[in-house]
Amino acid sequence: YRDLGRQRGEAASLRDLGKVAKKLNEYEAAGKYHQQSLEIFRDTDDQRGEAASLGDLGNLARKLNKYEAAGKYHQQSLEMFRDIGDQRGEAACLGNLGNVARSVGEYEAARKYHQQSLKISRDLGHRSG
């Protein structure tokens, strides 16, 4: 993708590399890949990609028990998905925010986030959501 000058393809590949690195417990590498993808999506004004990369960074932060950072990334991602009208992305972000709230013992907040996520997923007919 780099050789072809296809930045969005490069950014998507970097996201995938970040996900693989996270699965391999290579968290520093995962963070670098996700940060690179975020920057490219921002540079190319790809809001959906940017929102997804923010979610990836949030999931990584949660895995590393950096809950405040995780919440901030997921909140930014949620706002972007709402701005572009991507309800499936919105539902995923709400679920991620619920996971963060649950991780810090904020069970009532977690329930609210998960209920919102469930409602959107049901309304969309997104059964796995």
Look-up: residue for tokens 């909140």?
Answer: 75
Quote the pLDDT of residue 15: 95
Quote the pLDDT of residue 5: 86
Q: How confident is the model at residue 113 (pLDDT cuts 50, 70, 90)?
A: very high
Retrieve residue 120's tokens.
């959107």
Q: What is the pLDDT of residues 9-64, one digit of tens each?
A: 999 999 999 999 999 999 999 999 999 999 999 999 999 999 999 999 999 999 99
47-63 vs 67-84: helix crossing angle, rounded to 10: 160
Quote the pLDDT of residue 61: 97
Distance from C-alpha of 126 to C-alpha of 123, rounded to nearest angstrom? 8
Q: What is the pLDDT of residues 74-88, one digit of tens each?
A: 999 999 999 999 999
Contact 123, 104 (CB under 8 A): no
Contact 47, 80 (CB under 8 A): yes
Measured in degrees and rounded to the nearest 5, phi and psi for residue 112 equal -65, -45
pTM over the 0.75 mark:
yes
